[in-house]
Amino acid sequence: MVVSLVSGDVFVTERQLDDLLFTYQRLAVCDRRFMKYYSDRLSRQFECFSDDQVCNFARYLVKSVHARAQPMEIGATADYSREFGPSDTKALLDDFDVTSSSYVRCLESQLPVCLHQYSYYNLVDLGEFYGLFNIQSSVRVRFSTELWKYLYTLRYGYPVKALVVLSKLGLGDGATFGRLIRNIPMTLAFRWPLNLVSECLISLEWAKSSKIYVILAHYLSRYLSAQFNARNIARIFDSLCNKRIALLGLYQKVLRIQSLNPGWLSCEELLTVARYGKEVGFSLAGISRLLKGQDLDDMDYRKAMLLYVMDNPDAALVKRCIQAVHNKDSDQTLEFVSLMQLLKACYRHKMWLSAAPQLALEALRDIETIEVPVLLELLDLLTLAGPIGEPDLLARLEGYVKHVIPDLPLRTAGKMLWLCFSLGVAPDSVCFLSLLRRFNHLYEPSYNENHLLQVLGEALKRLKSQTVEIRTFLGHLETFKDVSWRREPAEIGKIREFQRNIGCKAFVSVFPFTADIEVDAAALSDYVARVGGGSISLADPCLPSRSSWSASSDIVDTVLLDLCGDPYVTVVERDGNERQTLRFYYQLRSSLVGRPFAHLLDSSVP
């Protein structure tokens, strides 16, 4: 039949040719000879074909690509999660090159003068054709402008499809998308392919409220099953995560389907859902259970990062994630956003990775400047385990700080001083002295409550030589109030209860600190032995032997004890070994006061 048709032995009318094209489309049959014949004949006799017949060939090509890309799926619909390159479409269409065909050349010459006559469904389907085959042309813009006049009359599923197509083409504006969005709820009264509805949810822009997201998510939840494309699930939640739209019903439905069909979502796709749940504040307990059933043997650092930043993951899983992060290949780039997520997760877990400074240096390599709020947060997260030992990273951070110093207000300059000192910036460095000059220039007597600056001042007093900036700074600190004694009501109650049971002194001022309790060393040891029993104990590094204490007779037998807060950080080395260390504030406190400080690992009291 095809041989007779293309050779001219059999002549068919345009209507008969269109019927044959429809049959080929339903059967997903692609014959290069037939497609070339149709393309050539349409280009030679364009006036003999109706608008619908011209666009039917475009619809045939689009649907054939999607159908042949999913040969095992009966009635396959458009898979918007997949991008097709020129070689892909050519292979799927029996080596027929669409972009160089006479059909496309004919459209390029005829559409500029006749596109305004086309109906809305032909405009949308032609736009989909141009988008799928990535045909770059000035005609693309016309699809949006010509569709404008039909925005109030679009029927069937075309409001949804028009929004998807315009989004794929990068066309349309706020008014266009707004009108399309208003038509979508009525469209969903009928059953439409879930791929199309999900792509609409992904493509939504210019929405003034989250109501349309809720409507689309409710539609998806009604018909969603394990047969739905798992890649689209990941794309949906990735889009919702970027827009921070909370859709609890859809989230729970996906987890319920995954629990019943463990092979539906892969590890990467499940991690995308987990990242969304974390961003919008949903519980991750269900996902943690599902992840245990995934194959994580070959976990790369990106998977490890997503797992690590989850709240309350499995302890064994955390160790595997940390090891994967430490083993990251040098050619794998860590983005700044991922770095911040990693550092925030370390802060939540009270755990510091020895590889963090090197990872931070890699993430910051191409960043010239950082805004002040983000820079403050970055410095604060990096100070978790005290001064960093990476000179290159420290130099880069000093560069960021020096860039923003001229614009810092007083309180921000004070906070920046403490953070820089905690990171290990030398007091005689250009960066630190510039910060001091900025603080001294802005200083006002009303700013007189900052405990960390008092601690910083006490450390600067120990320097052998002091610059003019340091002496001026110390002069300002003399008017500061001592606020180290401030505690929350619940903490005060805990201190008082401990005092009554042990018979010790509470709220002991050892400038610039206030210890919660001063207790006899023997009484404290007896208490730990009597009450602790493993549930309460002292960390060994915090209670040195008596031979190392000060020889002063009035303090030799007493220990300053903190009951509130947790000063410990777990440092994880690259080889997986862990060690406990004190945060920089507590390390500095011990060196400044010169007396033994202790901290209860479990500061509950009888």
Same domain for 1 and 146? yes
Same domain for 470 and 553? no
pLDDT-derived band at 263 (thresholds 50, 70, 90) equals: confident
Burial class (CB in 10 A: 0-12, 13-18, 19+), 446: exposed
Pick the most confident of 101-105, 204-208, 479-483. Answer: 101-105
CA dist 198 and 201 (Å) reads 5
Top-confidence residue, 122 or 155: 122
Is pLDDT above 80 for 275? yes
Same domain for 398 and 503? no
Same domain for 468 and 493? no
Same domain for 473 and 515? no
Q: Among 430, 482, 424, 418, which residue's Cα sits nearest to residue 456?
A: 418
Same domain for 416 and 541? no
Domain contains 512: yes
Contacts of 85 (CB under 8 A, 6+ apart): none
What is the rounded average pLDDT of the residues 552-574? Answer: 75
Q: Give the per-residue pLDDT at 313.
A: 54
Is pLDDT above 70 for 552? no
Top-confidence residue, 549 or 186: 186
Global confidence as pTM: 0.65
Domain contains 344: no
Give residue-wise pLDDT tens across range 566-600: 788 989 888 878 888 888 998 888 788 877 777 76
Is pLDDT above 60 for 535? no
Top-confidence residue, 240 or 602: 240
- Per-chain mean pLDDT for the chain: 85
Give residue-wise pLDDT tens across range 418-473: 999 999 999 999 999 999 999 999 999 999 889 999 999 999 999 988 999 999 99
Long-range CB pairs of 299-302 (<8 Å, 24+ gap) are 299/267, 299/324, 300/324, 300/332, 301/325, 301/327, 301/328, 301/329, 301/332, 301/334, 302/332
Domain contains 243: no
Is pLDDT above 50 for 482? yes
Q: How many domains does the chain have?
A: 3
pLDDT-derived band at 540 (thresholds 50, 70, 90) equals: very low
pLDDT-derived band at 246 (thresholds 50, 70, 90) equals: very high
**Any idea which residue has 């250009």 for tokens?**
430
Q: Domain boundary at 477, 503, 525, which?
A: 477
In total, the chain counts a number of residues equal to 606
Same domain for 449 and 502? no
CA dist 447 and 414 (Å) reads 10
Range of the domain at 433: 368-477
Pick the most confident of 21-30, 263-272, 392-401, 585-594. Answer: 392-401
Is pLDDT above 90 for 322? no
Q: Domain boundary at 97, 121, 150, which?
A: 150
Same domain for 1 and 145? yes
Is pLDDT above 60 for 497? yes
Same domain for 119 and 6? yes
Domain contains 294: no
Domain contains 87: yes
Pick the most confident of 316-320, 323-327, 559-563. Answer: 559-563
Type of residue numbered 92: L
pLDDT-derived band at 554 (thresholds 50, 70, 90) equals: very low
Same domain for 427 and 542? no
Three-state secondary structure call for residue 449: coil
Domain contains 545: yes
Three-state secondary structure call for residue 351: strand
User: SS3 for 74-136, per residue?
Assistant: CCCCCCCCCCCCHHHHHHHCCCCCCCCCHHHHHHHHHHHHHHHHCCHHHHHHHHHHHHHCCCC
Same domain for 559 and 432? no
Domain contains 58: yes
Is pLDDT above 80 for 63? yes
Same domain for 495 and 591? yes
Q: Domain boundary at 118, 134, 150, which?
A: 150
Domain contains 224: no
